[in-house]
Chain A
């Protein structure tokens, strides 16, 4: 894996593609490997897979083979998920390695940083969408679209809401359906969120976008 000595552990392949584009946009692509658990041969590409694989990576930090680590997961929603539950879970995973949560500074959306009590680099946790609300990556994306995309996106959202047949997806996944619909109406239909990032459809000045970049730079730069 070349000179990459930092790993950004994400839930799945779609997230990988998206974060690879984001990392590249801020020059982190040479130092950060974006990886879902199965690409590191963890067992599952899921949030649980991220939690299960994290200890393997945390133990790599001690001798400097891995120098930086960030985790991105969806908050999802109660009863099994939710922001608070997710945060507590990760606190428990990193604690045995001497990592304590740093009280969040500034805006609530700035992402969780864990400080090590024994000189290891800070590690980071970003809970989608904004380290406060329940939800998923697509909820973050919705908050970061270019103003010029608002009309098309709103139409997509209205369409999803007005589906004349019973919805097959859960309430949590409404945003996913909305974003997928919006993506389906782009110049190159059928691609993931990564394509929106590549095509510059995000407002890089929007607060949530700025916060995510700041968090990535804190953890990896």
Chain B
């Protein structure tokens, strides 16, 4: 669990710090304030910035995920993952890197550094067999070294992302190789933190079905049923069925399984989809709780589709499960209802700490528009519920 947060040089968050985090954290801010960027940074932190994860994230933003054949020009543009850095450019200085973690836990701070790697292929004679083998020698070329006069450096120079956590080298991601998927040099697969994501949009019916499969007939299913009853008190049971209509469609199958629900006092099963957005959203939230065990649950726009009265119950469930399954929650919102319902539960659950922080641009001259966090712990939260002070 992170007790505080520091994010540097990551997208709009050039130097962002949250001095105090709780087990359940609500992030508020205007549109485009950087709320979702905080979630994304946490996702990268949890996933150790592995290449495929960075690819997925870049893809979600329609950003470059790999070198393309058409690239042949400006060396400053055109490399994948540039957009992850503040200013959408790889930093010029050696010491500017993406930093994500908790300042108090130096061993677990994730760093992504853009470096140039010189690669020299050497022929080494094996004295035993008499055969010569090719050995690749790599070393990091400091950007400050001779202004990167490539001609003066022997071997091939390859743009690279070097990923470390504390003193551990996690991976080296090569950014070149035109037309190919980038290749990971070395990669330490260990130490990945579970990270379960509830996006703003509805996830596919198939993904829901997969989630349901994992918990069906377990204790966890009871938790999900209970959650669904918050919206639909007469909910009895649910199953996923193969959707024949879609399969007969135009060749490409988009949805294969869809949720059917049995309600009390009704002999027919009905599609979950027919019961409204709220129940779909709750199902999505509830199913995403379990994979967060021991890690993070990231919820983008908590309030989506949820009436105020339901929000409070869902927060109650999330506080409960976060403690039980030992995960940390980060949710974003721009709804006052959501702040109020969160605050009520945070204050009622004395055993689980809730923290709210607002993300916004600093108006201090020296910050030059830097995005900062203003933290409200439970004591301060108590104040804002009464005042409707300008937390939003």
Contact = CB atoms under 8 A, between A and B. Distances in A.
Contact of A1 (B382, B383, B385, B389): B389
Interface stretch (B108-116, B175-183, B316-324, B356-364): B356-364
Where chain A touches its partner, the secondary structure class is: loop
B387 A39 contact: yes
B390 A65 contact: yes
Contact of B372 (A53, A63, A98): A63
B387 A35 contact: yes
B383 A40 contact: yes
Given A41-B382, A56-B380, A63 B387 contact: no
Considering residues A35, A53, A64, A65, which has the most beta carbons from chain B within 10 angstroms of its beta carbon?
A: A65
Contacts of B386: 39-41
A143 interface: no
Interface residues of B, number: 22
Contacts of B366: 118-119
Contacts of B388: 1
B14 to A, nearest CB: 15
Nearest to B363: A64
A56 B384 CA distance: 10
B355 to A, nearest CB: 14
A81 interface: no
B298 interface: no
Contacts of B387: 1, 35, 39-41
Contacts of B385: 41
A56 B383 contact: yes
Interface string A42-69: 1000000000010010011111111000
Contacts of A35: 387
Residue from the set B374, B383, B385, B386 with the largest chain A CB neighbour count within 10 Å? B383
B365 interface: yes
A65 B382 contact: no
B228 interface: no
B380 A63 contact: no
Interface string A1-12: 100010000000
A60 B362 contact: no
B383 A63 contact: no
Main secondary structure on B side of the interface with A? mixed
Given A40-B383, A59-B374, A118 B364 contact: yes
A120 interface: yes
Greatest chain A CB density within 10 A among B358, B362, B384, B389 is at B389
Contact of B391 (A39, A61, A65): A65
Interface residues of A, number: 21
Contacts of A53: 383
A64 B389 contact: no
Contacts of A41: 382-387
B374 A62 contact: yes
B360 to A, nearest CB: 4
Contact of B390 (A1, A39, A119, A120): A1
B347 to A, nearest CB: 11
Given A118-B364, A118-B365, A119-B365, A66 B390 contact: yes
A63 B382 contact: no
Interface in B334-371: 358, 360-367
B374 A63 contact: yes
Contacts of B389: 1, 40, 60, 65-66
Given A1-B389, A40-B383, A40-B387, A65 B374 contact: yes
B375 to A, nearest CB: 9
Contacts of B382: 41
A58 to B, nearest CB: 11
B31 to A, nearest CB: 15
Contact of A119 (B360, B364, B372, B384): B364
B235 to A, nearest CB: 38
Q: What are the 6 tightest A-B residue pairs by CB atom distance, in nearest-first order? A: A119-B365, A63-B360, A41-B386, A65-B390, A41-B383, A64-B363
19 contacts: A1-B389, A39-B387, A40-B389, A41-B382, A56-B380, A56-B383, A62-B362, A62-B364, A62-B372, A63-B360, A63-B361, A63-B374, A64-B360, A65-B390, A66-B389, A118-B364, A119-B363, A119-B364, A119-B365
Interface of B: 358, 360-367, 372, 374, 380, 382-391
Given A53-B383, A120-B363, 16 more contacts: A5-B390, A35-B387, A39-B387, A40-B386, A40-B389, A41-B382, A60-B390, A61-B363, A62-B364, A62-B374, A63-B358, A63-B374, A65-B389, A118-B365, A118-B366, A120-B364
